[in-house]
Amino acid sequence: MTGHLYIVAAPSGAGKTTLVRLLLENDPGIRLSISTTTRAPRPGEEDGREYHFVDVADFVDSVSRSEFLEWAQVHGNYYGTSKRWVEAEMSAGRDILLEIDWQGAQQVRKSFPQAIGMFILPPSIEALEDRLSSRGTDSAATIARRIAAAREEIRHVDEFDYVIINDDLQRALGDMISLVSASRLEYASQRQRHAALFASLL
């Protein structure tokens, strides 16, 4: 049995991390892929929980050995997804979620064209600026750079299967839950998960 692969992407500040956390809390049947990154841990983050933190040399070495399903440089840091881990988990029938950007999504689709892509949009650029400013962790220059990057990321929204507008957190979460539920009801998925039932009925 093969699990589903979900891709969730969004510009910085659109609420992707919060929505993914709530989705995982709501659905224990989905496992989050922990990315490898070269950026420094933020306060409260732990190696192996939020990310696998490595230095640039180690990351580049992994790239040379084709160990990443996808990898990209974002805001001056590298991020990558373990190919071996994702393939093993899906082969075991577990559903996996990748919290990545549009560049990573393009790479993943080369290996998993059946991956289900969700893009989270903010209700406006102004709302995005407010959310980034309210974090209180970035300078004005950094926020301006992130807004410029967000505009570029949003240009790729049409590469995703589904779009969720996060103007209300609970509604956006409900949309994500509905998408996951619907994907599990597809014919191929149901026949695979309930092979004995289909064999007895057909």
Three-class secondary structure of residue 3 per DSSP: coil
Q: Mean of the per-residue pLDDT values for the chain?
A: 93
172-198 pLDDT, tens digit per residue, is 999 999 999 999 999 999 998 899 999
Range of the domain at 17: 5-201
CATH code, domain carrying 30: 3.40.50.300
- pLDDT the model gives residue 176: 98
pLDDT of residue 2: 86
Q: What percent of the chain has pLDDT over 70?
A: 100
Q: What share of the chain is helix, strand, coil (3-state, %, to 5)?
A: 50, 20, 30
β-bridge pairing 36-37 and 77-82: antiparallel
Q: Model confidence over 53-65: pLDDT tens digits?
A: 999 999 999 999 9
Confidence bin at 142 (pLDDT 50/70/90) = confident
Is-contact 117 111, C-beta < 8 A? Answer: no
Domain count, the chain: 1
Instruction: State how far Cα 13 lies from the chain centre.
Output: 14
> Does pLDDT of 97 surpass 70?
yes
Interior CA angle at 2 toward 121 and 95, to 5°? 40
